[in-house]
Amino acid sequence: MPQILITPAAEDDLINLWVYIARDNPTAADRVYQAAQATFETLFTSPNIGTLYQPKRARLEGIRFFPIKQFRNYIIYYRETAKGIEIIRVLHAHMEKHRRLEPEA
């Protein structure tokens, strides 16, 4: 059965995002979290709508990115798999994505 797999790193990203926003506005934090979940569903049904990421490392081939609906400063990095989609990271647009997606080994 097709599924949405959220990696531990992406789950941590979502938790940290919620905590950061909730310090000032818990209701807004809930809206961002719900929008992320809705965007995951959209990506699941239309996995090719995201833009292809240009990785430095071959293991990251096929990753796409797409903003969270209504919160375009937060970007979902994901890839299509045989079983559905894998959510790899959820990052703020101004974060150094290369350091978070492609840390030095």
List the chain domain ranges: 3-101
pLDDT per residue, tens digit, the chain (105 aa), is: 679 999 999 999 999 999 999 999 999 999 999 999 999 999 999 999 999 987 666 666 788 999 999 999 999 999 999 999 999 999 988 655 555 555 444
Backbone Cα Rg of the chain: 13
Topology at the third CATH level for domain 3-101 = YaeB-like fold (3.30.2310)
Q: What is the DSSP secondary structure assignment for residue 53, as one 8-state letter? A: P
What pLDDT, on the 0 to 100 scale, is given for residue 92? 85
Distance from C-alpha of 46 to C-alpha of 68, rounded to nearest angstrom: 14
Burial label for 25, CB within 10 Å (0-12, 13-18, 19+), is exposed
What pLDDT, on the 0 to 100 scale, is given for residue 6? 96
pTM comes to 0.86
Distance from C-alpha of 105 to C-alpha of 95, rounded to nearest angstrom: 19
CB neighbours (10 Å) of residue 23?
9
Q: Which two tokens stand for residue 34?
A: 């719900």
Rounded to the nearest 10 degrees, what angle do helices 26-45 and 8-22 cross at? Answer: 150
